[in-house]
Amino acid sequence: MTTIQFPKDLKWGAATAAYQIEGAANKGGRRPSIWDTFSHTPGNVKNGDNGDEACDSYHRYEEDVQILKELGVDVYRFSISWPRVMKDDEGTLNPEGIAYYRTLIQSLITEGIEPIITLYHWDLPQTLQDIGGWENRETVNAFQTYAEAMFREFGDSVKKWITINEPWCASFLSNYIGVHAPGKQDLQAGIDVAHHLLLAHGRAVESFRGMVPDGEIGYAPNADWLEPYSNSQEDIDACKRDMQWKIEWFMDPVFKGEYPALLQDIFAKHNAYVKVEEGDLETISQPIDFMGINYYSGSIARHKKDNGLFDVEAIWDGYDKTDIGWPVYPEGFYNLLTHIHQLYGDVPIYITENGACYNHEVENGMVNDQERIDYLKQHLTALHRAIKSGVPIKGYILWSLMDNFEWAEGYSKRFGIVHVNYRTFERTKKESYYWYQKVTHNNWFEL
Ligand SMILES: CCOCCOc1ccc(-c2cn(C[C@@H]3NC[C@@H](O)[C@H]3O)nn2)cc1
């Protein structure tokens, strides 16, 4: 047996997000978000699911904190629901919303669990979407107002903050591909939203420096990994183009103060341009304390003329798949992390999401999700390889603590290490929970 031993200071965690677990969508003064609108629009979400009740974590947070305590994690990453804490878009707080998160935060700290807050995990107030949403530069100001209010309310007890979760999903998946809210299919809109999300990130960092001087702040881009099918230049270039869309497009502006020219040229061929105003890139590229990385899958890929924006085709045949259909590709995790380290140097990295969808149900009071344990073993081995290769990994935060609303897939896709019965909201710890519990306690596991 091979033992994989992690550095003693590596932080172990689990993650969730507000719209995916809280429910209580119309309770406690919460206003509608774009995901309330999108999920209540027929045809957008599988089985017509929505986040109205979700996992009812708004009412069951005490139980969830106890589950986290028993799990033995160092950190819990959750998001604040912007429309739950802000009564309007001019900075008026909703006291009930503030009280909910203050209680949650205090409960975590009492149990010795460090809270990591994500400010934007996709639930934009609908009132802002009504004036253009992230396409409208004014939304950046509203985000900064919201972020400052959160720093003021919680900065004394929360010292790790993430500004934007998966800006590629919140921009291109949501406004160009169109499968996430608000469901537009317009490349220029995707580029405008991406730029304003990065600008909002930068403005929040600026405010954070003066308001939480002893805190750490970062953001959490997502990326998959594409390995060229052959060593032909056209296959190599095709993979590079597609990966730049998630990696360089969202990391070069932050770490280099510029957008990648290659993609700007490609977008220009589609008459789409990034509209940078004076000072934007200085705001976006000010120093941050860590980078989050969300990784799920990868594959090989090859050049395919006139296929999509980048003339590339991913080949998923031949790989084991999770129950959401994504290839299990742990080598991509190692390749991505070492690639990012080569591009951006020793920026501290937290794995802010990694996990797998397997839809096991409860049988005789237990959930045998051995496939998820195997996935975690493979990906934590890849993580260990990256650490041994010098990548400055500071923590691993598993997606997700519990089964939850998986966006356009609704409740049909289960990513949790805790099973949720969506009728009774009963939580059942899966076998993967007990496996991960040993990892968080021992800081090693056996292959
Ligand atoms: C027709 C083309 O359709 C393409 C679908 O393309 C994607 C890509 C990526 C995703 C995706 C989902 N997740 C998991 C979430 N990360 C944040 C957290 O909230 C998790 O629920 N990560 N990436 C979904 C769909």
Q: Which H or E element spans position 268?
A: helix 261-269
Contact predicate 200/163, CB 8 Å? yes
Consult the annotation and say whether 406 binds a ligand: yes
Helix pair 431-442, 57-71: axis angle to 10 deg: 50
CA nearest 128: which of 116, 145, 113, 111? Answer: 145
HSE at residue 230, side-chain half, CA atoms within 13 A, is 7
CA nearest 386: which of 350, 352, 357? Answer: 350
Consult the annotation and say whether 20 binds a ligand: yes
- Domain assignment present for residue 247? The answer is no
Nearest C-alpha to atom 24 of ligand 1 is from which residue? 169
Nearest C-alpha to atom 6 of ligand 1 is from which residue? 173
Ligand 1, pocket-test mutation among 44, 46, 407, 420, most atoms within 8 A of CB: 407
Active-site annotation holds for 248: no
- Domain assignment present for residue 266? The answer is no
Domain span holding position 18: 9-224+290-298+325-441
- Expressed in angstroms and rounded, the spacing between residue 426 Cα and the centre of ligand 1 is 26
- Domain assignment present for residue 275? The answer is no
The number of folded domains in the chain is 1
Nearest C-alpha to atom 11 of ligand 1 is from which residue? 169
Per-residue pLDDT of the chain (447 residues; tens, 9 = 90+): 899 999 999 999 999 999 999 999 999 999 999 999 999 999 999 999 999 999 999 999 999 999 999 999 999 999 999 999 999 999 999 999 999 999 999 999 999 999 999 999 999 999 999 999 999 999 999 999 999 999 999 999 999 999 999 999 999 999 999 999 999 999 999 999 999 999 999 999 999 999 999 999 999 999 999 999 999 999 999 999 999 999 999 999 999 999 999 999 999 999 999 999 999 999 999 999 999 999 999 999 999 999 999 999 999 999 999 999 999 999 999 999 999 999 999 999 999 999 999 999 999 999 999 999 999 999 999 999 999 999 999 999 999 999 999 999 999 999 999 999 999 999 999 999 999 999 999 999 999
Q: List residues near ligand 1 (CB under 6 A).
A: 17, 20, 166, 169, 173, 177, 179, 222, 294, 296, 353, 399, 406-407
Encoded amino acid at 240, one letter: K
Pairing of strands 160-165, 216-220: parallel
Its pTM stands at 0.98
- Expressed in angstroms and rounded, the spacing between residue 378 Cα and the centre of ligand 1 is 21
- Domain assignment present for residue 267? The answer is no
Q: Which of 166, 248, 313, 409 is catalytic?
A: 166
Contact predicate 80/93, CB 8 Å? no
- The ipTM, to two decimals, is 0.95
Three-class DSSP category at 118: strand
Consult the annotation and say whether 121 binds a ligand: yes
Cα 445 to Cα 396: distance, rounded to the nearest angstrom: 14
Contact predicate 416/372, CB 8 Å? no
Q: What is the CATH number of the domain that holds 343?
A: 3.20.20.80
- Domain assignment present for residue 381? The answer is yes
For residue 364, what are the β-bridge partners?
A: none
Q: Which of 114, 153, 353, 409 is catalytic?
A: 353
- Domain assignment present for residue 260? The answer is no
Residue 417 corresponds to which tokens in the numbers above?
């290490």
Pairing of strands 216-220, 290-294: parallel
Active-site annotation holds for 353: yes
Contact predicate 382/441, CB 8 Å? no
Pairing of strands 444-446, 418-420: unpaired
Write the CB contacts of 284 (distance below 8 Å, at least 6 apart in sequence): 198, 199, 201, 202, 253, 254, 257
